[in-house]
Structure 1
Amino acid sequence: MRYHIGGLPQEKLLDLYKGMLKPRMIEEKMLVLLRQGKISKWFSGIGQEAISVGVTHALNPEEYILPMHRNLGVFTSRGVPLHRLFSQWQGKKSGFTNGRDRSFHFGTQEYKIVGMISHLGPQLGVADGIALADMLRRKKRATAVFTGEGATSEGDFHEALNVASVWNLPVLFCIENNGYGLSTPTNEQYNCKDLVDRAKGYGMESRIIDGNNILEVYSKVNELCKAIRKRPRPILLEFKTFRMRGHEEASGTKYVPEKLMNKWAKKDPISNYEEFLKDKGFLDDAKIEAYRAEITEEINANLKTAYDEPSIESTLTKELNNVYQEFDYKHYKKNEKIENIRLVDAVSQGLEQSMEKYNDLIIMGQDIADYGGVFKITEGFTKAFGKRRVRNTPICESAIVSAAMGLSINGMKSVVEMQFADFVSSGFNPIVNYLAKVHYRWGQNADVVIRMPCGAGVGAGPFHSQTNEAWFTKTPGLKVAYPAFPSDAKGLLATAINDPNPVLFFEHKGLYRSIYEDVPTEYYTIPFGKANVLRSGQDLSVVTYGAGVHWALEILEKHPEINADVIDLRTLQPLDVDTIYQSVKKTSKLIVLQEDTLFGGIASDIAAMVMENCFEYLDAPIKRVGSLETPVPFAKSLEEEYLPKQRFEAALLELYTY
């Protein structure tokens, strides 16, 4: 192995050696503890230390780095106290996740490290968002993100590279090509000689680096960091290396040919570099022994600290309260000046006023810039706020949701427009597995609003008509708003943007231009979790939201003999159960109307909660009404049959006369 010092001082050469030695010795200790049953699982990076250590040393301390589960050297190079790492691996309080996640599945703002989730791919888009925030603030910084050769087959990899290239983001995409994805060799994963060849398709620069040569890793990455700080752009790096142990220890390495294992053993990054330093006279056996003794003492002392720490304890209240970041709601009153506008105008106005309020608020979505979005919500926004803040995106929902997460990590707010709520399925994973869980896992907020134009009744067919709120009300950590009126849409959107938690904001397309209301002209907010009682009566309670509100009001106008409470939920998470319970206790009858298909929807949960908490007040079975259990059809007659409006009228009359 050839090493080129390239003017590096002796102190730096030895720092890099010690930087690799420390994670190697920690790993060797962990493998012993694993066999003793003192830790539950281990993903080994033995043989790959040069990559983690070299890349981390090339970055400045204030620059974010996003490692994987074999990058222990990132954490040690950033100076993370070992007792905290050991406590993390044992699920104790001094770790970074309060026992809620394991191994390297965490981040820490203190050390500017953002750990991965098991789905691997989304963190590449998160790196895009972090780098975007730096670029928008004109901070000359680099961001480095790791992935393995296996994850380069995921769609998130390609989406993130494309976004970074289109936006010239200063990201180093670091592929650790270690030969195997669990047991699958590279020749069964991709059909190209080098993974960096893919960079050509994205108009990106690329480099192949010997991942077992610490000086090559450090020198080349350091050079590239300096370059992209000066002229922001992404670069794809492929580090050629090998995984000397199993995917995780239980996997073993029986599937690896012995000849191949022996070949890479001779390329060990530590032993080869050690011999080089000894040949140069920078290192000798006495120094090596001193380094090892020092690291051993540090490991043992910190292990004792972690072992002596009691097992973690918590309370039900604490666990529930930590799902969301605490939101100190600030109420902005409605002003007296009003104008009669449509729901679509109210959404646009609310978004524009939030953009004026927050200079660090970014809007992202397909066709939202000069075109103004398919529903013209953001028409004129680029003239008012510029294309840096109103950003057209490629068609890559997953990467953009992940980038929104990155913006939040780096202290900015974002609103992402799904062109249609149906398309959120392409960005589903980062919403439910990253945004929703990140605060509970390691205390990081996801300051993201995802706008969801939704709903049937406009003849748009199966792929542009769904109202899929139940996908998200099921997921702890997400908030869901669903206004039915222009004034609610404007006030709730302002609150959603103020809230540091992720919010799915549903906007019914069929109501965009059909519903008018007098709306205050200035900025105001409406609290989440407060339903609106639109009509008051004694006969029965109608609970609904979105287009269902207008269907219920219309049907009740046809039946003046029915004196009903009509409750517009406005937000589905948090849900105003108190208002529902109070109404049911008064009327003793409940019908819940939703546009979504009936099975598994919010109506089922409301019915179940009322049964559990208000059973003794009920004088009739609870009625649930929803759309047919089919995809949304295109033809008008089929769509009318699909939607629950007429079935609601029949169910309402049946409940009234029960």
Structure 2
Amino acid sequence: MSHTATSMSTIKYNKSGLDTNTLLHLYERMLKPRLIEEKMLILLRQGKVSKWFAGIGQEAISVGVTMALKPEEYILPMHRNLGVFTTRDIPLHRLFSQWQGKANGFTKGRDRSFHFGTQDYNIVGMISHLGPQLGVADGIALASKLKNLNQVTAVFTGEGGTSEGDFHEALNVASVWQLPVLFCIENNGYGLSTPTSEQYNCEHLAERGIGYGMESHIIDGNNIIEVYTRMRDLAADVRKNPRPVLIEFKTFRMRGHEEASGTKYVPQDLMDAWAKKDPLENFQAFLRDENILTETAEVAMKEAIVHEINAHLQMAFDESPIQPSETEELADVYKAFTYNEHKPGEKTQELRFIDAISEGLKQSMERHDDLVIMGQDVAEYGGVFKITDGFVELFGKERVRNTPICESAIVEAAMGLSIAGMKAVMEMQFADFATSGFNPIVNYLAKSHYRWNQEANVVIRMPCGAGVAAGPFHSQTNEAWFTKTPGLKVVYPAFPYDAKGLLATAINDPNPVLYFEHKALYRSIRQDVPTDYFTIPFGKAARLREGTDVTIIAYGAAVHWALETLDKNPDIKADLIDLRSLQPLDTEAIFDSVRKTGRAIIVQEDSLFGGIASDISALIMETCFEYLDAPVTRVASMETPIPFINQLEAQYLGKGKFEDALKTLLAY
């Protein structure tokens, strides 16, 4: 039997199949965030919170979706989803501490409002760049599918966020892989001040599902019963038949993007029309008409929530302000990693650089059952450099996954796997292509542990470098983009032995690692490498030659430039330091050598300005100045993009400049 509201409500409700307790529970769950928001607006005017993104008028979506999911299923909300947090029963004093920048919040004052997650409640908060959380949801859902958990993941975005490329990439990946993700679009009319008519050119965003071969639905986002029952049924079905579903919730933003923005750009008649559709007031009227909600019960409900709000607010107010600590701040940039040494065995075999990487990756796949490899063409084809050739036969397509051409979404999916307790190695087909995944690398992976104590257990393999006539878009060595980003680790081996051992350590390390592998070394460098699994610690340089004339500091292909020069000039007695890892950096090895030799030259393949050689030079000047007998010298490639034809590429590279620069330094 269908029960619809009387004239007291402008929303039609159908409560069939829902008992009185559930209906009252839905109302109480919507009432709580509304009362909290009303209190927050008062505190904002009093200067006791710094910013607020109001979700008033949209509570039915957050509450309905959250109640439809199981507590162990992940939700990735946004600013206007307070109801997700309250419905998951996060203690209010912790939310209030978060919004006041207190230590008992979820980010220790390092991020604000809803920019946080919590594994205790299976919530993963947004970042300001909006789009990445969609791909992260893919990764969490992939983990659920690989583990046969029969769980769904729900992720929110606004209609404005659907304009981002991450939206397309995430939906495409979810559809290709048939991931159990509920993509929830809160279409609330405006992205800040930009109306929907200027955001997309189709009648309904749900129509986009057709292009992805994806089921889609339109739901009245202000009708709590419709939201809850349809999402409950969808979630139950997706658990049995894993697939992505696109849901467009029609609603409206009744207040500004954030309170300082205001709503003057919204026509008043539109505001008035949506005010009549208020999800809380309409449901309240319906429950009264149905004699389900009595005035006495409602008053008691409000009094209990207001008492809880006030009591928990006082707890947050009473909490001491954060006392800055440099030690604590620095300690939380990376997740603590206790290096577990695996010593190499005595048995060795001669391997090329590329084979050492492949063998190290294979042995890590054998050691870690929860490790997944992702990248373009990495499965049957074995990757463009054949490093994963034969891996599908060994580990299966579930763990060795071809991806669409969407670097951003795959970096994000790798992050989602980490959140779900797994490990990921992503092959960036060429290091140059990291630009297409740059945002999630530097803004999501790098900052997650510092922000809310969530590790990014991700290794991104970066085939890089010139010398193979590949031109401007396949030859960059772009480590400097990442060495200056706190939260990332950067590894750059020059020999097969190091390549294998450092890769094993990178995969063991729970922090995000950019693992650079120089393409020109792949098949040109050979070395005896232990056949067994072994590790090499980060932050420990290798001293390849010893001498007292000069300190040469290099990494990657530049190490071999230096070796060739020293072999050509046996009279030069140099300390040659192969850095091996750039972040962390073995400054102790550098300083000890410079204090001994009194001269330092740093050589890198990257162009000079802004490269890591500049920072190492500055560190030497600041730390070893009184030991120096000559200025620190830097050698690098030309300040141009990398040209294609070999004679121009040879001119570009710093290799041809190194010998003269070294001799000039020695003659100073």
What range is the shorter-chain TM-score in?
A: over 0.9
Aligned to 1:460: 470
Aligned to 2:644: 634
Matched, 1:165 2:175: yes
Aligned to 1:237: 247
Taking structure 2 as the reference length, what is the TM-score of the superposition? 0.98
Matched AA of 2:267: P
Stretches of 4+ aligned residues off by more than 6 angstroms: none
Number of residues of Structure 1 aligned to a counterpart in Structure 2:
658
Q: Deviations over 1:513-563 (max 9, x none)?
A: 000000000100000000000000000000000000000000111111111
Aligned to 1:227: 237
Task: Identify which of 67, 71, 79 aligns with 2:81.
Answer: 71
Aligned to 2:220: 210
CA distance in 1, matches of 2:305, 2:351: 68
Matched, 1:581 2:591: yes
Superposed, 1:170-189 pairs within 5 Å as 170-189=180-199
**SS in structure 2 opposite 1:114?**
coil
Matched, 1:118 2:105: no
Matched AA of 1:68: M
Matched, 1:58 2:47: no
Superposed, 1:320-331 pairs within 5 Å as 320-331=330-341
Query: Cα distance, 1:656 vs. partner?
Result: 1.1
Aligned to 1:541: 551
Aligned to 1:565: 575
Superposed, 1:125-164 pairs within 5 Å as 125-164=135-174
Query: Cα distance, 1:288 vs. partner?
Result: 1.4
Q: Deviations over 1:156-197 (max 9, x none)?
A: 000000000000000000000000000000001110000011
Query: Cα distance, 1:39 vs. partner?
Result: 0.3
Superposed, 1:463-474 pairs within 5 Å as 463-474=473-484
Query: Cα distance, 1:649 vs. partner?
Result: 1.1
**SS in structure 1 opposite 2:246?**
strand
Matched, 1:528 2:564: no
Task: Identify which of 362, 367, 372 aligns with 2:377.
Answer: 367
Q: Deviations over 1:464-488 (max 9, x none)?
A: 0000000000000000000000000
CA distance in 2, matches of 1:313, 1:141: 41
Aligned to 1:514: 524
Matched, 1:261 2:264: no
CA distance in 2, matches of 1:362, 1:581: 39
Matched AA of 2:478: N
**SS in structure 2 opposite 1:319?**
helix
Query: Cα distance, 1:131 vs. partner?
Result: 0.4
Aligned to 2:325: 315
Q: Deviations over 1:201-251 (max 9, x none)?
A: 000000000000000000000000001000100000000000000000000
CA distance in 1, matches of 2:236, 2:630: 72
Aligned to 1:285: 295
Greater mean alpha carbon deviation, residues 313-322 or residues 170-179: 313-322
Matched AA of 2:622: E
Query: Cα distance, 1:6 vs. partner?
Result: 2.1
Query: Cα distance, 1:287 vs. partner?
Result: 1.6
**SS in structure 1 opposite 2:515?**
strand
**SS in structure 2 opposite 1:34?**
helix
CA distance in 2, matches of 1:645, 1:434: 36
Matched, 1:397 2:407: yes
Query: Cα distance, 1:386 vs. partner?
Result: 0.1
Task: Identify which of 99, 102, 124 aligns with 1:89.
Answer: 99
Aligned to 2:260: 250
Matched, 1:29 2:25: no
Taking structure 1 as the reference length, what is the TM-score of the superposition? 1.00
CA distance in 1, matches of 2:560, 2:234: 58
Aligned to 2:435: 425
Matched AA of 1:533: R
Matched AA of 2:375: G
CA distance in 2, matches of 1:6, 1:149: 31
CA distance in 2, matches of 1:651, 1:90: 56
Matched, 1:17 2:22: no
Matched AA of 2:411: V
Matched AA of 1:94: N
CA distance in 1, matches of 2:635, 2:265: 55
**SS in structure 2 opposite 1:113?**
coil
CA distance in 2, matches of 1:173, 1:262: 29
Q: Deviations over 1:598-654 (max 9, x none)?
A: 000000000000000000000001000111010000011100000001111110010
RMSD: 0.4
Q: Deviations over 1:113-132 (max 9, x none)?
A: 00000000000000000000
Unpaired runs of 5+ in structure 2? 1-10
Q: Deviations over 1:226-284 (max 9, x none)?
A: 01000100000000000000000000000000000000000000000001001111012
Task: Identify which of 9, 12, 16 aligns with 1:2.
Answer: 12
Greater mean alpha carbon deviation, residues 641-650 or residues 280-289: 280-289
Superposed, 1:299-314 pairs within 5 Å as 299-314=309-324
Query: Cα distance, 1:314 vs. partner?
Result: 3.6
Matched AA of 2:187: N
Matched AA of 1:91: G
CA distance in 1, matches of 2:250, 2:95: 27
Q: Deviations over 1:394-431 (max 9, x none)?
A: 00000000000000000000000000000010000000
- How many percent identity over aligned positions? 71
CA distance in 2, matches of 1:6, 1:132: 35
Aligned to 1:591: 601
**SS in structure 2 opposite 1:415?**
strand
CA distance in 2, matches of 1:362, 1:77: 33
Query: Cα distance, 1:315 vs. partner?
Result: 1.6
CA distance in 1, matches of 2:326, 2:104: 20
CA distance in 2, matches of 1:235, 1:90: 36
CA distance in 2, matches of 1:369, 1:318: 42
Matched AA of 2:36: I
**SS in structure 2 opposite 1:107?**
coil
Matched AA of 1:111: Y
Query: Cα distance, 1:377 vs. partner?
Result: 0.2
CA distance in 2, matches of 1:380, 1:390: 10
CA distance in 2, matches of 1:567, 1:95: 44
Query: Cα distance, 1:290 vs. partner?
Result: 1.1
Aligned to 2:612: 602
